[in-house]
Amino acid sequence: MASTVLNAVSERRLRPIYELLDNGNYKKACHETEKVLKKQKDLIAAKVLKTIALHRMGKEEEAFDLSNEIAMEAPTDENSLQGLSLYYKEIHRTDLICPLYENAVRLCPGNEEYLTHLFMAYVRHEKFQEMQRVAMLLYKQHPKNPYLFWGIMGIVLQAENTTDKNLATKMYLPLAEKMVEKHVTAGKIEAEAEVKLYLMILDLMGKHEKALEVVNGELGGKLISDIGGRPAALLEVQKKLENWEFVNEENKKLLKQKPDVWNYALDYLDSLFHLLDIERGSLNEENNFNEWAETSTRLQEGIQFILNLITEENALLDWKRRGPYLLRLEMLKRMKDRFGNLRDSCFGPAKQLCLEYALDFSPKPFCFSDLKPYISLLSDEEKIQFLAELKDQQSSLTSSEMNGVCDENLKSEIMKKKAKEIQRHVFTVEAARYLGEHEKLSSSEKFILAQDFLQKHEAGLKHVADRPPTDACPVDSYCVLAARLMMDIYSDTGDTLYLWRCAYVLEYGIQHSKYNYEMKLMLIKVYCTLGAFSPCADLYDSMEVKHMQQDTLGYTVCRHVVSLGHYHHASQVFQMARNFYTNNNKESLECLITCFRNGTFYKVSEFVKYRRRIHKSYHAAYVQTEHLLMDLFTQGDIDQPVTALLTSDIKPIDYNTLVDNRDLKVVSDVSSKEKRVSEGMIKKSFEHEKNWLAFRDFLLRCMYSVLIRDQDQTHNGCCCHCGPESILPTLIAQFETFCSTLYKSDIEDYPMLGPNTTRIKLSIESNYPRMMLLVFKFCCDFINLKSNPDLESQLFNNLTSAIQLLQEYVATCKGGIYSNANHDETDQSNESSKTGLNQSVPDAIININPSFVERLVICTEMFSICVLLITRLKTVVTEVKMDLQRQKRRKKGKQTNSPLPAWVSGYQSAISRYNDIGDALVGEVKKMKQDVEERMLDLGGLEIKDKEEEKTPA
Amino acid sequence: MTLYRPFTCEDMLKFNRVNLDPLTETYAVGFYLQYLAKWPEYFMVAESPGGDIMGYIMGKVEGRTSDDWHGHVTALSVSSEYRRIRLAAELMQHLEDVSEKKKAMFVDLFVRKSNQVAVKMYEKLGYIVYRTVLDYYSSPNGEADEDAYDMRKPTSWDVNRKSIVTEKKVILPEELN
């Protein structure tokens, strides 16, 4: 048997090196390993440490070669194995840990620790069958319960992940079940985790009767740690068994104890309606049914049960829970869904119930989200009545302003009361907006309403002055509502003046509430729509969006940061996001292993699913592709040779499995039906985003194959036809097909707070895809010219068209950043209600054409890519020139001085046309800078002023 | 009305409205997953009837000796719109119940000294300031580090309430074991 531990001498020699590595002293560590290796040239553990040191010094290739050498020697000592595993983890090649331990296990059969490591190595790579095999081997040699259950879990995972469902139900699951049962019969079950895995298997097999026996039996006694323990587990099984009578009774009891738990409410209602359905099932005719609904004792009892809960809750004086009231509304909704308007009277009209709910809970900010699902119970007419009565109710509860000095205690009471009143009012406004009242207003009425909100905000500030800044502040909602009104006016009129005013409102709001993320997210959207990214970077940073949030919230900045040309910042956010995906992959894998170590089997499948979801995240593919592409056109051949940027391998994207992880619900939506962000909208936007990604991916791949061709030629001097460029024609054909569908995209605008407008829109307007297609076709012909001289006659047709398309689009930038649109800056209210909204928006910003920067950026991008590709083709020209010179030398003495082929001059003239476009673009950028600087002089700093200052004429 | 259920991995994709709160830290994914893998019963989420995450609690059970065996609250956060409806108290109750089942002697937690809202709430729930840990919370912006209160509440297993008695009321972070 091979030795698994180092001898004391080796151990002593290596110890200082470990310390050096830990302290980051890699160079010295490397040096020391060499010294040790001089004395003991076969000490693998020393070589492993050298590998790690080399890798951390940045000598990656050397390190990897050495690691391969070590792997060939099949180390069996613990130090080497652990060290090499560490190295593999650092280089993200955990797949190599498997063969490493396979060898070790082969050489040291029966070593428990190595088998465990091998098992975990398979866990990392989702090799479920191998997991099963190794776990069983472990159990055979070391009969401990966890090993057996690792193996069983391995089988369950095979069942869950096989495409052949038959195999799962007929082979894997019965096998897993049999293995557990054998263990049960032997009386060897020890832990709760084991019972849970047993129940999980039975559940997957649909054997709920058996599960019931388990829960009720001796094994059920082990179920203690989860919420509700054994009774909850029992209830779950009974639900699966559709034992509604039992479920209903149990949840009744639970609701009596805890009427505010929605789980119980849902189970209660679900079971009740199942029971009602069974009763109803025997009735066929409509009339009978109506009669039944009127007389059903079960339904009566159900209604009475809820009424009792309400009575009990009403009796509480100091503090009411919302549970029973929501339960009543939910019951009403389900009854309406099933029985139409029958039995409406049992609880009273829906409108009344909603009003009662508002009366009790509208001082709480969640009240409106609670009521949203039940507003649909009201008819259009009732909705109007509801709003009118709500306003009456609300105004009757509003006390007069607090005046003069009063006792401190009293003051704090009044402040609390005021804060509640504000919340109540906000609720009323939100309801009105949700029900479409704002839609009916004219622009000037919206403006006046927004002013009113801002005044309420200001007046309300003093009532919330004692709140810590980190606490949510009810008056903030006024700014949010005012901002939404400004967005409304903008989307109705298209006048950017109102977006600037919206930005003002939000800036002002944030000034008073610096942690309000809703306002920050809205402001980011506003600035980006206006074509200004700079302020967004700080806003985004101030929310401390990190880790997981990059996947769900990254979309808020990652689109505009490139489309508005903030490449430096883009590079940072893309890199951060990419780091997240790498870390997530690593960390979630290690935690998957922790699940096995801790026997948390029921979480394993959840972890596996989660890992896949993040792995397939659209955002992950997006940041990777955009980043690589951006590096090419911003740095290629400027900061570094383009060939140095071509190292990353681009993995193919499977568009069918991409997942949309964007959190588009982070800002609460109280818009009217027309402007609400719908699921359909999100889905559609996702399809567009995927198309955009596909476009970028095509760009990247086509560019790579043109650029790499060059690399191969200069570095390897051969393989013109076996190199990657041979895939270029295929890629171009695919790209062409893709383009034709892209141009047919039906693009719609989303509400301001909905998904981002797709970049496809502008790319079609600029003919970006078509232009690139022409350029790639040209590149392909140009490269193949030598082998196919027939191409020469038509060679420049594609490029000429491409240049023309680019020129045409660059010409649209001629107008400059400022437009001369008319803005309606007339005062829209009387003097007495002046707020910051009446400030005139300075000339330096009001006339900025919001699409200008984005258009200019797209021009520069197109231009840069073309230049990068065309200049790369220079090598083809150089080759031809060299050929000619060689010919010349051979034919020395003869008079024939063969001229350069005509296409060379064609190439040169194309270059010069690109030069002209470049000059034009630089001209536009300079002009923009100059225009902005000139107008900025008048600006003198735009400030958010207090009302008092505004009144004094500037 | 609140739906209580175990926290799952996918909840990390939905917890923005809770975590964008300035006093709530968003940890690296591995941190949450460690807790899910080791102490899943200590990690619970509260969901509104509309499916929004209202808040969550994350904790663990640990200790070297049986006297020191205790439940620990690692994170407790409630979204701003769902505050003041005793949700935190419900979540704490759950964690205490789990700790009771695990025969923990006490439950402890750390809180910023300045977070008076939280400190008062914990006091209401029966927690006492066991000791102060100096400079426990580091500030990223170069501001002064902040002290933490180490708060404790004995469980029914600690019959003599020994776990809340200490000689040293103020300690340094390195004195924590």
3-state secondary structure chain B: CEEEEECCHHHHHCCHHHHCCCCCCCCCHHHHHHHHHHCHHHEEEEECCCCCEEEEEEEEEECCCCCCCEEEEEEEEECHHHCCCCHHHHHHHHHHHHHHHCCCCEEEEEEECCCHHHHHHHHHCCCEEEEEEEEEECCCCCCCCEEEEEEEEECCCCCCCHHHCCCCCEECHHHCC
Number of domains chain B contains = 1
SS3 at position A818? strand
Arithmetic mean of pLDDT over chain A: 90
Under 8 Å CB-to-CB from A431, ≥6 apart: which residues? Answer: A358, A368, A371, A375, A386, A387, A390
Confidence at residue A880, expressed as pLDDT on a 0 to 100 scale: 80
pLDDT per residue as tens digits for the range A742-784: 999 888 889 999 999 999 999 999 999 999 999 999 999 998 8
Confidence at residue A719, expressed as pLDDT on a 0 to 100 scale: 37
Work out the pLDDT band at A832, boundaries 50, 70, 90.
low
Work out the pLDDT band at A718, boundaries 50, 70, 90.
very low
pLDDT at residue A954 is higher than 80: no
Between B141 and A123, the more confident residue is: A123
pLDDT at residue A343 is higher than 60: no
pLDDT at residue B144 is higher than 60: yes
Work out the pLDDT band at A368, boundaries 50, 70, 90.
very high
Indicate yes or no: CB of B49 within 8 angstroms of CB of A607. no
Confidence at residue A612, expressed as pLDDT on a 0 to 100 scale: 95
Q: Which of residues 582-601 of A touch B (CB under 8 A)?
A: 583-584, 586-588, 590-592, 594-595, 598, 600
Q: What is the mean pLDDT of residues A173-187?
A: 97
Burial A309-335 (b: 16+ CB within 10 A, else e): bbeebeeeeeeebbbbbbbbbbbbbeb
Share of chain A above pLDDT 70, in %: 92
A578: tokens are 């990419």
Choose, out of A120, A548, A579, A603, the residue to mutate when testing the contact with B (most B CBs < 10 Å): A548
Q: Yes or no: say if A503 and A850 are a contact pair by the CB < 8 Å rule.
A: no
pLDDT per residue as tens digits for the range A575-604: 999 999 999 999 999 999 999 999 999 999
pLDDT per residue as tens digits for the range A623-633: 999 999 999 99
Which residues pair with residue A261 across a beta bridge? B2
Confidence at residue A713, expressed as pLDDT on a 0 to 100 scale: 45
Chain B residues in contact with A364 by the CB 8 A cut-off are: 81, 84-85
Confidence at residue A950, expressed as pLDDT on a 0 to 100 scale: 35
ipTM exceeding the 0.90 mark:
yes
Dihedral angle computed from the Cα positions of residues A905, A906, A907 and A908, in that order, rounded to the nearest 10 degrees? 50
Q: What is the mean pLDDT of residues A795-820?
A: 92
pLDDT at residue A717 is higher than 50: no
SS3 at position A58? coil
Burial A536-563 (b: 16+ CB within 10 A, else e): bbebbeebebebbbbbbbbbbbbbbbbb
Report the CATH number that the domain containing residue B117 is assigned in CATH: 3.40.630.30
Work out the pLDDT band at A204, boundaries 50, 70, 90.
very high
Indicate yes or no: CB of A591 within 8 angstroms of CB of B34. yes
Interatomic CA distance for residues A914 and A812, integer angstroms: 17
Confidence at residue A764, expressed as pLDDT on a 0 to 100 scale: 96
- A832-to-A448, A452, A829, A946 alpha-carbon distances in Å: 12, 11, 8, 15
Closest CA to A954 of A452, A945, A934, A502: A945
Confidence at residue A758, expressed as pLDDT on a 0 to 100 scale: 95
Work out the pLDDT band at A793, boundaries 50, 70, 90.
confident
Task: Provide the residue range defining the domain that includes B127.
Answer: 3-175
Q: What is the mean pLDDT of residues A424-430?
A: 96
Most confident by average pLDDT, A204-213, A316-325, A387-396: A204-213
Choose, out of B13, B32, B45, B141, the residue to mutate when testing the contact with A (most A CBs < 10 Å): B13
Confidence at residue A286, expressed as pLDDT on a 0 to 100 scale: 63
Q: What are phi and psi of B62, to 5 degrees?
A: -155, 175
Indicate yes or no: CB of A326 within 8 angstroms of CB of B1. yes
Q: Which of residues 297-336 of A touch B (CB under 8 A)?
A: 319, 321-323, 326-327, 330
The CA distance from B176 to the nearest CA of chain A, in Å, is: 24
- A227-to-A223, A566, A594, A604, B171 alpha-carbon distances in Å: 10, 49, 22, 19, 35
pLDDT at residue B152 is higher than 70: yes
Choose, out of A591, A609, A667, the residue to mutate when testing the contact with B (most B CBs < 10 Å): A591
Closest CA to B91 of B127, B148, B45, B34: B45
User: Lowest mean pLDDT: which of A317-321, A557-561, A775-779?
Assistant: A317-321
Residue A676: count of CB within 10 angstroms of its CB: 14
Confidence at residue A341, expressed as pLDDT on a 0 to 100 scale: 64
Confidence at residue A590, expressed as pLDDT on a 0 to 100 scale: 92
Share of chain A above pLDDT 90, in %: 73
Interatomic CA distance for residues A292 and A220, integer angstroms: 41
Side-chain-side CA neighbours of A407 within 13 Å: the count stands at 3
Q: What is the mean pLDDT of residues A79-102?
A: 94
Work out the pLDDT band at A820, boundaries 50, 70, 90.
confident
Confidence at residue A879, expressed as pLDDT on a 0 to 100 scale: 83
Confidence at residue B90, expressed as pLDDT on a 0 to 100 scale: 96
Indicate yes or no: CB of B49 within 8 angstroms of CB of A370. yes
Angle between helices A323-339 and A367-375 (to 10 degrees): 10
Confidence at residue A288, expressed as pLDDT on a 0 to 100 scale: 67
Confidence at residue A523, expressed as pLDDT on a 0 to 100 scale: 98
Work out the pLDDT band at A136, boundaries 50, 70, 90.
very high
Work out the pLDDT band at A462, boundaries 50, 70, 90.
confident
Q: What is the mean pLDDT of residues A308-324?
A: 90
Per-residue HEC secondary structure of A500-550 comes to HHHHHHHHHHHHHCCCCHHHHHHHHHHHHHCCCCHHHHHHHHHCCCCCHHH
Q: What is the mean pLDDT of residues B91-113?
A: 96
Chain B residues in contact with A663 by the CB 8 A cut-off are: 13-14, 16
pLDDT at residue A699 is higher than 60: yes
Confidence at residue A897, expressed as pLDDT on a 0 to 100 scale: 62
Q: Yes or no: say if A262 and B85 are a contact pair by the CB < 8 Å rule.
A: no
Interatomic CA distance for residues A793 and B52, integer angstroms: 65
The CA distance from A519 to the nearest CA of chain B, in Å, is: 12
Indicate yes or no: CB of A227 within 8 angstroms of CB of B44. yes
Work out the pLDDT band at A470, boundaries 50, 70, 90.
confident
- A292-to-A277, A284, A336 alpha-carbon distances in Å: 11, 11, 15
